[in-house]
A = this chain, B = another copy of it.
Amino acid sequence: MKTSISTPIKAIALATLCFSGSALADKVLLKTPIAFGTHLPALGTPIKWVSERIQPVSGNTIKMKVYEPGKLVAPLEILDAVSSGKVNSGYATAGYWQGKMPAAALFSAVPFGPEAPEYMAWMFYGNGLKLYQGMYDEAGYNVKVLPCAIISPETSGWFKKPIEKPEDLKGLTMRFFGLGGQVMEKLGVGTVQLPGGEIFGALEKGAIDASEFSQPAIDQRLGFHKIVKYNYFPGWHQQATMFELLINKDTWNKMDEDQQSAVETLCLASMTNSIAEGEAMQFEAMQKAQEQGVELRYWNEEMLNLFESTWLEVVEEQKKDPYFAKVWADMSDFRKNYQIWESKGFLPRGQ
């Protein structure tokens, strides 16, 4: 009879211990389709990193199952799928939704925009994050957004011949993505959007003359250097690219505060990790490209100024969208203030 008395006491002891923590929080399985394969360094590795750590930081109350691009939801349909509850989360970059909401581009990568530290300053200590969530809310999407990785600059493309003056661009056919593509169009370049896997073949057949895709370490894997030998820097169109974890808002609201805090903390940690990874992996690829006969060139001042003034023309057009105008004004105001610090705080960059 001793056991029948002690059992309820044990039960109470266990219950007390558990209730003091979050062990009785509803468990959540985040089914997470992603826009970039986890084999791609910096583009795809951060969400894998997040998924591996989400159990310990949530007290084992959240799991994440990552679905490679297209396996569950096509990349361009992730936002709709998360909002409608078809899946409860997704990982992408907001630039993918710029067709639905022009302002989305400004939360992804801004031509002549901030580098990672300034971008994060605006996002977390300026109005960035409030405007980011506000954009989805006003457009009627039922999602919670968390910046969840940020990576270093892209290159601005691979060309068959040197591009030294504006005329050298005219008539080229080039793979180019996003707002930067609109700049190139204005400069007489015919742009096409091709997924990464199709670019090499298109260059080889001569269907395109030039291409931008991503960072040196990623471009290296796609083999562009075998066909086109002029790789231009800096990537004025993407000095930093931010990635987002979208969570269905009903799912988010059902999480308790500890779970929400765990996800937020993990996404912030992922930003440190992705900056470090992105900054560490480019130089080896660039050294290798040089060994393979690639010329690494920096745009001359005339070309950079042309890209920038043309970008400002694109901005004027995009500002017809009120939310784009609102975000642009806020970001520009922050950046104007930041300039005094940017120009004085740092040592000249090594040449």
Chain A contact residues, CB within 8 Å of chain B:
4, 7-8, 10-11, 14-15, 17-18, 20-24, 53, 55-61, 112, 115-118, 120-126, 152-153, 216, 233-236, 239, 257-259, 261-262, 265-266, 268-273, 275-284, 286-287, 296, 298, 304, 337-351
Chain B: minimal CB distance from A118 (Å)? 6
Asked if residues B23 and A234 are in contact (CB atoms below 8 Å), the reply is: no
- 24 cross-chain CB contacts under 8 A: A7-B8, A7-B11, A11-B14, A53-B261, A57-B57, A57-B58, A57-B261, A57-B266, A58-B59, A59-B258, A117-B276, A120-B275, A123-B276, A124-B272, A124-B273, A125-B276, A216-B341, A239-B346, A265-B269, A266-B269, A284-B337, A296-B340, A296-B344, A298-B343
Expressed in whole angstroms, the Cα–Cα distance for A60 and B61 within the complex equals 12
- How many copies make up the complex? 2
The reply to whether B22 and A56 contact each other, CB–CB distance below 8 Å, is: yes
Q: Is the CB of A350 within 8 A of B343?
A: yes
Shortest Cβ distance from residue A263 to the other chain B in the assembled complex, whole angstroms: 10
Secondary structure type dominating chain A contacts: helix
9 new A-B contacts, CB < 8 A, other than A59-B59, A120-B272, A268-B270, are A7-B7, A53-B261, A56-B265, A117-B117, A118-B279, A239-B347, A269-B272, A286-B341, A342-B350
User: If the complex has contacts A17-B23, A273-B124, A339-B350, are A345 and B282 also in contact, measured as CB distance less than 8 A?
Assistant: yes
Are B344's CB and A234's CB within 8 A?
yes
Partner of A120, one of B4, B55, B276, B287: B276
Which residue of B is nearest A344, CB measured?
B233
Assuming the contacts A56-B257, A59-B23, asked whether A125 and B283 have C-beta atoms less than 8 A apart, the reply is no
In the bound complex, residues from chain B placing their C-beta under 8 Å from that of A287 are 337, 340
Beta-carbon nearest neighbor of A118 in chain B:
B279
Collect the chain B residues with CB atoms within 8 Å of residue A22's CB: 56, 59-60
Per the bound structure, the CA–CA distance linking A235 and B347 in Å amounts to: 8
Contacts of A345 in B (CB 8 A): 152-153, 233-235, 282
Which one of A22, A57, A122, A239 has the greatest number of beta carbons of chain B within 10 Å?
A: A57
Quick one: given A122-B280, A280-B126, are A343 and B351 in contact (CB under 8 Å)? Answer: yes
Q: Which residues of B contact A349 (CB under 8 A)?
A: 342-343, 346, 349
